[in-house]
Amino acid sequence: MMQMPSLLTPRRFAKDVQFAIALLAITAVAVSCRTPVPQISTSSRSTDISVAAVSANDNRVPAGKLVNGKLDLRLVIGMARWYPEASDGAWVDVAAFAEEGGKPQIPSPLIRVPIGTTIVATLRNSLADSTVYIYGLGSPQSGTTDTLSLAPGQSRTVTFAAAKTGTYLYYATLGRMDRIVLRPNPQYRRRIGEREQLAGAFIIDSVNANTNDRIMVINGWSDPPGANDFRNALSINGKAWPHTERLVAQTGDSVRWRILNGSARNHPMHLHGFYFRVDSRGSLLRDSTYAAADRRLVVTEVLAPGETMSMVWAPERPGNWLFHCHAVFHVVDEARLTSMPRDLHTSHGAKPMEHMAGLVMGVSVRPASGFVGASRGPARQLNLFVNEGKPRGIAPRALSFVLQEGNKPPADDSVVIPGSPLILRRGEPTDVRVVNRLAEETSIHWHGIELDSYSDGVAGFSGDPTRLSPAIPPKGSFIAQLTLPRAGTFIYHTHLNDLEQLTSGLYGALIVLERGQRYDPSTDHLFVAGWDGESVPGTPGTLIVNGGKAMTPLPFALGKTHRLRFVNIGPAVAFVATLRRDSTVATWRRRAKDGADLPAGAAQVVPASLRADVGETFDTEFTPTVTGAYTLSIAHAGQPVRYLAKITVK
């Protein structure tokens, strides 16, 4: 399949709550009659011993006691103090699951059993003032699950079978529930914020399954947003960057992860430097494992609220790498629990422990014994300049990557948005010298590209402990060494002061061709979507494609195959691209995602409409068989069309 359904999450943090249009995909909004009032503090660890501290759950130790095919599971929900960052840092009081007699945990305690296990779960609500509703503790094979309602102080025991293998979620909400609500009342959301710290993983393994994997659960919590007081906590396994666990692998390993989105936001999860294979996708109620021939290679995969995936990747090159959400608002310094309004010092700084926050994990790949890196021959030389010109459009700044053509460097204030497309060839060593003409530091991440860690572009982090990649200082330069192993459509973009620099224009497309192939703009068409400045309250950011809202009409030859390359490098929000003839949706063939050719089962002729989330690229092929006028529209998901290209087929 080409992509999975996802839900809209446009916004900067106060807007993040205001614009969320869905909670967990199969759940409802928690409308509390007497929900406990959360307390939040920026001070050091509290001495109040009446509230237990949350233990960050790394999902390594299953809960309960498994004996002779039966799991005895005893869980309790109570108030706890969560430190999503430093253990002596900011905290918030929340409701959390714990094993009876144990520490409260975020994510909720891991339930992991072999298929066929009988689960006997005793659940207790120790809250004094809220009914709790628990979802996901039932047999997934039926596609439905009962809602367990527990009044304050009430206990209940349920027995069910682990009948179908897969990766599932379970979670709880507080208060009176509407049974199914996919579009909750936004006024209500603004009033209560988000409460998704009560979600955890429920894994059912096949007989003799390989359980050497890691499980990562995304949780979220937010205050009701006010004018200047909005706070949120976004975590992976209970912690936010830079306090998330550092994962360690070795070259030659086969790394298996399960990722579960227990939050109410979309998360396009992106791995630096490597492709990963998506083996299954699921949710609270079901999990679908793809046949071997249908498993996709991607670098970014979107998880909508309540969705799960299992993935496999092979670390072929040592160094430091990132795995993170590509929605900028979920990873910049403002994602911290106590970081509003924006801290300009950390936003503009080059320290990775400061300018990133939230949903980020570091991965250290160590060389195996005898590892020898690939050799490089003579390299093609390119000069890429980072310029600032006169503001245009809504954005207060106009920044740009401009490629030198010929012997003369471009003018200091020349700007082209998106940045100059870089056309490279598969297997050809290329050195890109990036010259920073800005008055501030910057960096470039080569998104979706298999490369050495030092060139990956995360200032102060990429590389290894003996040699870390620096930020590119004002008037300074950096040489990125690229040798691209596959042809396809990729992205390059800033990875520093992301929100300001990205929405000012520091992004571009990178196209890799096969050896001997030439780029022909008459049949090869590029559509790069970004934002013209940051968003304003009440709306997503202003979508621009190829730097504007419309383009010169495109002539297409009848019967000739055209390649359409789509790139979404806005800071948030998916876009939908649709090709029509009059009012009828045309057809095209799916070709590639994230630069990797799709498996045969997915590379099919389909209606000409696709959804691209942040950090994704898609390639399609369109062969017109009927003359006439066509239109290609691109719009933020759920929003009016902002970009329209007219195509004439003769």
Residue bearing tokens 């446009």: 10
Rounded to an integer, what distance in angstroms lies between the CA atom of residue 456 and that of residue 481?
A: 9
Nearest to 328 by CA among 152, 515, 540, 475: 540
Rounded to an integer, what distance in angstroms lies between the CA atom of residue 534 and that of residue 11?
A: 9
Rounded to an integer, what distance in angstroms lies between the CA atom of residue 253 and that of residue 506?
A: 35
How many other C-beta atoms can be found within 10 angstroms of the C-beta atom of residue 176?
16
Mean pLDDT of 372-392: 94
Identify residue 536 by its one-letter amino acid code: V
Q: What integer pLDDT is reported at residue 346 of this predicted model?
A: 61
Share of the chain above pLDDT 70, in %: 85
Higher per-residue pLDDT: 29 or 247? 247
With residues binned 3-state (H G I as helix, E B as strand, rest as coil), the percentages for the chain, rounded to 5, are 5, 45, 50
Rounded to an integer, what distance in angstroms lies between the CA atom of residue 490 and that of residue 494?
A: 14
How many other C-beta atoms can be found within 10 angstroms of the C-beta atom of residue 439?
8
Q: Which residues contact 536 (CB under 8 A, 6 or more apart)?
A: none
Q: What is the pLDDT of residues 245-284, one digit of tens each?
A: 999 999 999 999 999 999 999 999 999 999 999 999 998 8
Residue positions counted in the chain: 650
DSSP-derived letter for residue 25 is T
Nearest to 59 by CA among 222, 182, 239: 239
Mean pLDDT of 577-581: 97
Q: What integer pLDDT is reported at residue 147 of this predicted model?
A: 81
Tokens of 157: 């025991």
Tokens of 122: 């005793």
Backbone φ and ψ of 166, nearest 5°:
155, 180
DSSP-derived letter for residue 332 is B
Under a CB-based contact definition with an 8 Å cutoff, are residues 96 and 197 in contact? yes
* 285 has pLDDT over 90: no
* 347 has pLDDT over 70: no
Q: What integer pLDDT is reported at residue 138 of this predicted model?
A: 79
Q: What integer pLDDT is reported at residue 16 of this predicted model?
A: 34
Q: What is the pLDDT of residues 522-562, one digit of tens each?
A: 999 999 999 999 876 656 789 999 999 877 789 999 999 99
* 42 has pLDDT over 60: no
**Is 480 in a helix, a strand, or coil?**
strand
Q: Please report, for residues 169, 170, 188, the alpha-carbon distance to residue 285 in angstroms, rounded to integers and kept in the order given.
A: 8, 9, 26
**Is 32 in a helix, a strand, or coil?**
coil
Q: What is the pLDDT of residues 453-511, one digit of tens each?
A: 999 999 999 999 899 999 999 999 999 999 999 999 999 999 999 999 999 999 999 99
Q: What is the pLDDT of residues 151-177, one digit of tens each?
A: 999 999 999 999 999 999 999 998 743
Higher per-residue pLDDT: 223 or 40? 223
Q: Which residues contact 380 (CB under 8 A, 6 or more apart)?
A: 424, 428, 429, 430, 431
Q: What is the pLDDT of residues 172-198, one digit of tens each?
A: 998 743 333 333 344 434 445 688 999
pTM recorded for the entire structure: 0.90
